[in-house]
Amino acid sequence: MPHSRRDFSTLRIPCTKPGCNRWFKNKSGYTQHTNAAHPLFSAAPLHAEPSQFTWPHPDDPSQSNRSPSPIFNGDIDPIQSDGACEEDRSEIPRSVQSPTPAEFVGTGDRLYRNYHPSLTGRPCDPEGNFLPPGVLPLPLSEKCSDDWTPYCDRLEFELADYIFTKNQTPAAQIDHLLDLWAASLIQAGAYLSQVPFKDHRDVYKTIDSTPLGDVKWQSFSVKYTGDIPDGDPAPWMTESYDVWFRDPHQVVQNMLANPDYATEVDLRPYCEFATETDERQWQDFMSGDWAWNQADQIAEDPDTHGSMFVPVILGSDKTTVSVATGQNDYYLLYASIGNVRNNVRRAHCGAVAVIGFLAMPKTTKQHAKTAIFRKFHHQLFHSSLSFILQTLKPMMTKPEVVRFGDGHYRRVIYGLGPYIADYEEQVLLACIVQSWCAKCTSNSKTLDDDNLLHSRVHTDTLIEECDHEMLWDEYGIIAQLVPFTNDFPRADINELIAPDLLHQIIKGAFKDHLVAWVEKYLVITYGQARADVILDDIDRRIAAVPAFSGLRRFPQGCNFKQWTGDDLKALMKVYLPAIKGYVPTDIVRAFHALLEFCYLVCRNIITETSLKEINNVVARFHRYREIFRTSDHYNALIRLFGALNGLCSSITESKHIKAVKEPWRRSSRYKALGQMLVTNQRLDKLTASRQDFHARGMLNGTCLTSVLAALNTQAPREHHDAGQHELPVSSAPGEDVNEDFDVIDDPTSVLAHVELTKTPCKRTPSGFISITENKYIEGTKHAQSIPELSTELDIPNLADLVRWFLFEQSNPKDTRNPTEVPLLEFPHYQGQISIFNSASSTFHAPSDLSGIGGMKHEHIRACPLWRNEYARNDCMFVITDSDTHGMQGMDVARIMAFFSLRQHGRQIPCAVVRWFNRVGNVPDPDTSMWMVKPAFAAQNTPHFAVIHIDTIFHAAHLIPVFGTTPLSPSIKFYHVLDIFKLFYVNKFADHHAFEIAS
C-alpha cells in the first residue's frame, strides 16, 4: 500500500524574524528556536548564520568600473607591488521574503523542506504562460517508436555506438570488421546490402548526420594590441592565440532537457530539516544558502517570480596527454548546472560537459617571467571566459523558456555558480598574488590569523582608495587584473571559488605536509641510515595490507615518484597503521584527525551535528599538529554550496580521460585538437541519440532479443545456455589496482543487500573448476556435501554448526544457548550443497564512486585459488544486533565458504565464517579505529559459525597492528589474516565503512 503523505499544515507556525525561513509543528518548538537563534540579549554582537545574511552584489556597472574587455587595448603596464588600507566588512540582512509552508520529503516524513517562495520553477507553455497545477507535460518526442533516424534500425545504432564509443575502434579496424561481416554474409548466401555500414567513412557520416546533441565548436582569436617596442619584440606580442569553445547556452539547455536524470533535478532552492529535531542538513547544491540568496536577489524583479534559477558551475584545469610529442598540454573549460544533484554530477551522465579549450600562450624563457607577459597571460584567461559566456548574460536578468527532461517547459534565469579549480587556478581567478588566499586576506604566513573575507565590493573599494604597491604587499591583490565575473550580474569571484578537497587536503595537507613531515621527523630523530630502514619497513607494511574491494594496492609500498589523485586517496586509507609504532602518538592522532575531516566533509548529507564534528576534528588536528589552517572556510562553504562532494576538482580531473586523453589517443597526433573536437562532437551525438531512443522505449532488452522478437522466434538454445553460465568470479585487474566493484545506474532501492553469485562452482572429473581472469584452474577439490566441506575447510564440527543454523532458521524466537537444546531437536541435513566463490553486496554509497542513484556493488570473496596464486577469504560486517547502530550492533567475521542448501523446498544461502572479537568497547584513541582479534571457542579452537547471508551487511577491511617489530619481506598481503593476532577495522577503507565503523 503506498504511503500517504501528511498534510503540509502540520508545520503551521513560521518564524517571524527577518530572513528566517523555519516552520514549526508546535509553539514549544518555535519558542526553543527563538531562544537559541534569536535571543533578545547577547553579551557580544550577534554573528548571523550564512543562511540569514548575504553580501551586496552590485549588478549595476555604475557600482564598479572594473570590467574585463575581450580586446586588449594596449594599456598594459608592468605588474607592480601594490597594497591596501584596512577596511571592516559589515554584514547586511538579505531581502525578507514571505516563507512558504514546509513540504515533507522522503519516506516516513522524517524530513521537511522550506522551498523558496518566489523562484518556484512552475511549468509553463512554450510561450511562457504558467500552467494550472496538474497539467501533464507533452511527450518528449513526436517521433514514432520505430524511427531510428539517422540509423536504419537498432542494429546500426548499437554497432556505431559500440565501435565509436565503447570500443573506440580505429578506422582501419572498422573497415576490417565490416569486411569480415560482409564475408560471413556471402558465405551464408545473404546479400551484401545487409552489412550495416560500408566502411569507417559511412559510420562517421551517419553519426555526423545526427540532428541531436549538435552543439558545434567555434573559435575566436586573441592578439596583444598594446604597445610593441621597436626592434626585436617578444614573440608572444605578435602571435595570435585561438580559443575553441561551444556555446554554453546550448550546452546548458541540453543538460536541462536530458531525460536520463530528469528526476534528479532540483527546481527550487530549499532548506532541509529533520522533522523530529528541526536540525538543518545540507546535501545537494540547491540546499545551500548561496542558491537561496541568489534567488532573493533575482526575486526583487516581480517578472521573475515562478521562474527557475539555474546556476552554471564552471571549472578549468590543464592536463597533459603525452610527454613525448609536440603540443602535449590542453587547457579545458567545463560546465555543469547546480540543479542536478551531486550524485549525477559525480557520475557525469552528461551533467559535466567540456565547453572550451583555452589558449595557453607560450614564449621564450627570456620573456616568460616578465610582468607584462604574465599580465597578458592572466587577462587573456579572464577575457576568454567573458567572451565564451556572453550568450548566457541576457538570460541572467530576464527569463527564457526552456524544455526540460520531464517534458515540461519552464521559465529559466541563469547565474554564474561556483568555480571548481585548484590553487593555481584560484590565484588566477581571484587576481591575487601567489601564496595568498583566494577567499580571504590571509597569506601563507598568516593562515592562523583571523582575516577579512575578500569580496567584489571590498576589492573595488580598496583599488579606488589605495595605491597598487600597498594592494600587492598588504592584501595580495593585483589591481591591474579584472576578474571575468565583473562582466556578469550577481557574480563575485571570491565568493564563487569552490573548495578543492583534492588539492588542498589530500595532495596538500596529507602528502605535501604530513607524509613529508613524517619522513623528515624520522631522519632528524634516527639519522638518514636508520630512517631509510624504517621507511622501507613502512613500505613493506603498506604492501602487506590485505586486498579489499575497490581499494588500490601498493605492492612496492609508497616509494614512487609519479603520484595521482587516486594513488593519494588509496594511500590515505592504509597509511595510518603503517606508521604507528615509529612516530609519536600526537602525529598518529594528527593523521587520524585529518582523515576524519576528509570523510566528514565528503559526506553526501551534512547536518548541523556534522558541522560541529568537523569543527571538533579541526580543533584536534591543530592541537596535535600546529602547521596551518586550510579548513577554516569549509563550514561556511558547506552552508553556502551544500555537500562538497559535488564540487571537488576530482570531478573535472576524471572528465579529462573521456574529453581529452582518449580522443587524443584516437587522433593522428598531428594537429590533434581539431580531430579531438570532432571526436567529442560525435560522442555527444551518440549520447543524445541513446537518450532519445531510451526515452521512447526503443532500447529495452538487448539488440539480439529485439531482433528475435521482431522475427517472432525463440532464441537458440545455445544463447540461453551462454547467458546462464556467467563467471562465478569476475576478472580482476593488475595487482596494483583492485577494482573488484561496479557502479549501478539504477535508482536507490535498498540500503544494503547481499546475494550469492548466479552460478555455483562446477565439479568435473578432475576436480574443481574456478574461472579467474578467463583461465581454468583445475585440480582443487570441491565439496558437494557437508561432510566433504567439513574436510575441505578442516572444521570437524561443521555438521553440528549447520544443524544449529537450521534450528535457528526454523525457531527464530528461541533464545536458548545451543548447549541447552536437546540434540534431537536439531535438524539433520544430509542433502547436497552448492559452493559459491563469491557473494555480491549491493548498497547505497553516494559518497563513493557510484551510479546515478548512489548505488554500487562489490564482491566478497571466498575463493580457494584466487588469480591462480593464493586463497582469498575476505572479511565482512555481520549484523548481530539490528537495534544497535554502528559497530556495537555488528561483529566482524572472515568468510571461509559460501554455500547453499535446500530445505522444505527452498534454497537457503549460507556462509561458513570465523568470528573476530572486538577489543574493548571503544575505538583505539590514537587511530580512532576499532580493534579486533580472532575469536576462539572451547579448547582454544577457532570460533566458526554458519550464518545466513542476509545478516552480512558490508565487506570489512582489516589491517594488522604491526607494532614495532619490522615486517619480514617474505610475508605477503594474503598471509597477514592468518599470521597476525590483532587487527584494526579500517573505517577509512571507503565512505560506507566510515559511517558504519566509526
For 231-265, give the DSSP string.
Answer: SS--HHHH-EEEEEEE-HHHHHHHHHT-GGGGGGB
Give the per-residue pLDDT at 625.
Answer: 56
Per-residue cell: 885? 547502530
Give the per-residue pLDDT at 65.
Answer: 43
Residue 698 has pLDDT above 80, yes or no: yes
Lowest-confidence range among 485-494, 650-659, 770-779?
Answer: 770-779
Name the amino acid, one letter, at 644. Answer: L
Name the amino acid, one letter, at 92. Answer: I
Give the per-residue pLDDT at 35.
Answer: 55
In angstroms, rounded to a whole number, what is the distance separating the alpha carbons of residues 516 and 587? 12
Give the per-residue pLDDT at 335.
Answer: 92
In angstroms, rounded to a whole number, what is the distance separating the alpha carbons of residues 802 and 167? 48
Give the per-residue pLDDT at 270.
Answer: 93
Residue with cell 549501478: 744
Query: What 3-state class would DSSP assign to 311?
Result: strand
- Band of residue 753 on the pLDDT scale cut at 50, 70, 90: low
Give the per-residue pLDDT at 338.
Answer: 92
List, for residues 830-868, the tens digit of each pLDDT value. 888 888 888 877 656 665 665 555 666 778 888 888 877
Average pLDDT (492-496) is 89
Residue 45 has pLDDT above 50, yes or no: no
Angle, helix 200-208 to helix 672-695, in steps of 10 degrees: 70
Lowest-confidence range among 589-593, 841-845, 974-978?
Answer: 841-845
In angstroms, rounded to a whole number, what is the distance separating the alpha carbons of residues 543 and 534? 14
The sign of the CA dihedral 561, 567, 568, 574 is: negative
- Band of residue 191 on the pLDDT scale cut at 50, 70, 90: low
pLDDT mean across residues, the chain = 77
DSSP secondary structure code for residue 551 in this structure: P
List, for residues 233-256, the tens digit of each pLDDT value. 888 888 888 999 999 999 999 999
- What are phi and psi for residue 530, nearest 5 degrees? -65, -35
Average pLDDT (527-531) is 91
Residue 937 has pLDDT above 70, yes or no: yes
Residue 197 has pLDDT above 70, yes or no: yes
Give the per-residue pLDDT at 97.
Answer: 39
Average pLDDT (508-523) is 81
Lowest-confidence range among 120-134, 450-464, 923-937?
Answer: 450-464
Residue 137 has pLDDT above 70, yes or no: yes
- Band of residue 31 on the pLDDT scale cut at 50, 70, 90: low
Average pLDDT (129-134) is 92
In angstroms, rounded to a whole number, what is the distance separating the alpha carbons of residues 915 and 933? 9
- Band of residue 24 on the pLDDT scale cut at 50, 70, 90: low
Residue 717 has pLDDT above 60, yes or no: no
Give the per-residue pLDDT at 561.
Answer: 55
Average pLDDT (201-224) is 88
Query: What 3-state class would DSSP assign to 536?
Result: helix
- The answer to whether the bond into 150 is cis (omega within 30° of 0) is yes
Give the per-residue pLDDT at 327.
Answer: 52
CA 92 to chain CA centroid, Å, is: 35
Average pLDDT (112-116) is 90
Which is higher by pLDDT, 643 or 271? 271
Average pLDDT (865-886) is 84
- Helices and strands in the chain, H and E counts: 28, 34
Between the alpha carbon of residue 715 and those of residues 139, 157, 158, 189, 889, the distances in Å are 34, 22, 19, 22, 49
- Band of residue 745 on the pLDDT scale cut at 50, 70, 90: low
The pairing of beta strand 952-956 with beta strand 767-772: unpaired
Residue 26 has pLDDT above 70, yes or no: no
Edge-to-edge strands, sheet with 270-274: 103-105, 111-115, 270-274, 280-282, 606-607
DSSP letter string, 731-759? ----TT----EEEE-SPP--SEEEEE-SS
Residue 266 has pLDDT above 80, yes or no: yes
- Band of residue 740 on the pLDDT scale cut at 50, 70, 90: low
CB 731 within 8 A of CB 772: yes
Question: What predicted TM-score, i.e. pTM, was given to this entire model?
Answer: 0.72
Give the per-residue pLDDT at 676.
Answer: 83
Per-residue cell: 827? 535438524
Residue with cell 609508497: 558
Residue 400 has pLDDT above 90, yes or no: yes
- What are phi and psi for residue 386, nearest 5 degrees? -60, -40
Beta bridge partners of 933: 917
Helices (H), 642-772: 649-656, 662-666, 672-695, 703-710, 717-724
Average pLDDT (258-284) is 88
Give the per-residue pLDDT at 515.
Answer: 83
Give the per-residue pLDDT at 275.
Answer: 83
CA angle 514, 517, 520 (to 5 degrees): 160
Per-residue cell: 443? 597569506
Residue 600 has pLDDT above 60, yes or no: yes
Give the per-residue pLDDT at 758.
Answer: 61
Percent of the chain at pLDDT above 70?
75
CA angle 929, 935, 940 (to 5 degrees): 150
Lowest-confidence range among 66-75, 104-113, 839-848, 933-942?
Answer: 66-75
Average pLDDT (874-878) is 91
The sign of the CA dihedral 639, 645, 646, 648 is: positive
Give the per-residue pLDDT at 633.
Answer: 57
Which is higher by pLDDT, 623 or 238? 238
Which is higher by pLDDT, 85 or 845? 845
CB 539 within 8 A of CB 685: no
List, for residues 669-693, the tens digit of each pLDDT value. 777 788 888 888 888 888 888 888 8
Which is higher by pLDDT, 8 or 205? 205
Average pLDDT (570-593) is 87
Exposure of 487 by Cβ count < 10 A (0-12 exposed, 13-18 middle, 19+ buried)? buried
In angstroms, rounded to a whole number, what is the distance separating the alpha carbons of residues 611 and 607? 6
In angstroms, rounded to a whole number, what is the distance separating the alpha carbons of residues 710 and 703? 11
Give the per-residue pLDDT at 702.
Answer: 81
Average pLDDT (442-446) is 73
CB 21 within 8 A of CB 114: yes
Query: What 3-state class would DSSP assign to 216?
Result: coil
Start-to-end CA distance of the chain, whole Å, equals: 36
- Band of residue 98 on the pLDDT scale cut at 50, 70, 90: very low
Most confident of 30-44, 277-291, 607-621: 277-291
Residue with cell 608572444: 236
In angstroms, rounded to a whole number, what is the distance separating the alpha carbons of residues 653 and 657? 8
Most confident of 388-402, 479-493, 636-650, 956-970: 388-402
DSSP secondary structure code for residue 513 in this structure: I
Give the per-residue pLDDT at 300.
Answer: 94
